[in-house]
Amino acid sequence: MNRLYLGVDTSNYTTSVSCVSDEGIVFEQRTMLSVPLGERGLRQSDALFQHVRQLPPLIERALSSVNRAELSAVAVSTKPTGAEDSYMPVFLAGKLAAVSIAASLGIPLYETTHQAGHIRAAMFGQEREIGAAPFLAMHLSGGTTDLLTVRLQNGLIGEIDRIGGCSDLHAGQFVDRVGVKIGLPFPSGSSLETLAKSAVDRGLKLPSSVKGLDCSFSGQETQCLRLLEQGTPKETVAYAVYDCMARTFAKLLTGAFERTGFCAALLSGGVSGSPLLRRLLGERLRQRLYYAADGLSSDNAVGTALLARDQFSNGR
């Protein structure tokens, strides 16, 4: 029997549904939440409302594209991370849908976290290379800049412990706030990177604020906004943002490699999908860095569906 596994994720800015089999991805669609031009985000109530509108058609497409009799389990992200106080109302939309699907089909429901889904999606296709040993991970997004240790247990993602990260402004917020100031749409990652690649002057250096395994971007954001107001070319500022992030993350990872003795790191989250950031990091680090496959760095439900498959296959 061909078994299928459904994943649902309703993060801050993306509604996602995915279905995987034992062989690979069967269905994957996502819809970005709409943010008005000039705004730097959405209130949770507005984001939740958009999820409630966008989730039904995605689920209908997913269920109509597969044999429902082959669905064996459903997984849903119910909170941002595994921290005890981690909570966001937007995840309630996905949980409601997943509970309803699992109950109506009489199949197991697994609750997981948005962060675990990102890590699992980034592992997809390179599980053998990563192996079974503990590894470092970085979750780089608009809501999270976490330096993590990840341990696998019987092929499952086990303990995820935060050992460092950003103490104020997250990497994605840094990118988006500078991008919105320039006049780019939110989220601004791809547009800001396009600008950065066109920069002629790449000598502008923002300070890299790192203390131990913690970093900060709030001061750098203030400096970028001031430079833009003073007439510094937007392309120059855009490149400086990526250069600053690369130097900052390289310092964090170097310190973490030394502290843990681990020899590999997995980078996930929308910010980590930047080809420019990957190149700049690769120039600064010799350790093995793993990244998500194309399209799986940003928010998606593929990792969530894979977690359902992992749990079901291990008899959980």
* pLDDT tens string 119-149: 999 999 999 999 999 999 999 999 999 999 9
Instruction: From residue 110, give the alpha-carbon distance in Å to each of 93, 127, 155.
Output: 15, 21, 16
Residue 315, pLDDT > 90, answer no
| Nearest in space to 8 (alpha carbons), one of 105, 91, 96, 75 | 75
- Which residue intervals of the chain bear CATH 3.30.420.40? 4-120+296-313, 132-291
Rounded average pLDDT over 234-257: 98
pLDDT > 90? residue 1? no
Task: Evaluate if residue 118 carries a pLDDT over 80.
Answer: yes
Task: Name the DSSP class of 270.
Answer: G
Which tokens in the block code for residue 68? 């429902």
User: Could you tell me the end-to-end alpha-carbon distance of the chain, in angstroms, rounded to an integer?
Assistant: 19
β-sheet with 71-79: strand ranges across: 25-32, 14-21, 4-10, 71-79, 109-113
Strand partners, 165: 146, 214
Fold of 132-291: Nucleotidyltransferase; domain 5 (3.30.420)
Q: Is 285 exposed, middle or buried (0-12, 13-18, 19+ CB in 10 A)?
A: middle
Which residue matches tokens 């790449």?
A: 202
> 316 or 74, which is more confident?
74
| Confidence class for position 185, pLDDT limits 50, 70, 90 | very high
Check residue 155 and give its pLDDT. Answer: 81
Instruction: Measure Cα distances from 240 to 39, 137, 183 in Å.
Output: 23, 24, 17
Note the pLDDT of residue 123: 98
> What's the pLDDT at 154?
84
Residue 316 has pLDDT above 70, yes or no: no
- The number of helix segments (H) and strand segments (E) in the chain equals 10, 12
Q: CA 301 to CA 107: how far, in whole Å?
A: 18
Angle, helices 234-260 vs 218-229, to 10°: value is 170
DSSP single-letter state for residue 315: T
Is residue 157 pLDDT above 70, yes or no?
Answer: yes
Residue 237 CB burial class (10 angstroms; 0-12, 13-18, ≥19): buried
- Distance, in Å, from the CA atom of 157 to the CA atom of 103, rounded to the nearest integer, reads 25
The set of residues, in sequence order, having a beta carbon less than 8 Å from that of 295 and lying 6+ positions away, is none
How many CB atoms within 10 Å of residue 35? 19
Mean pLDDT of the chain: 96
**152 has pLDDT over 90:** yes
Q: Which residue has the tokens 């990102």?
A: 118
Is the domain defined by 4-120+296-313 classed in CATH 3.40.50.2300? no
Length of the chain, in residues? 316
Distance, in Å, from the CA atom of 244 to the CA atom of 247, rounded to the nearest integer, reads 5
Residue 209 CA to residue 190 CA, distance in Å, equals 24
d(CA 294, CA 132): 23
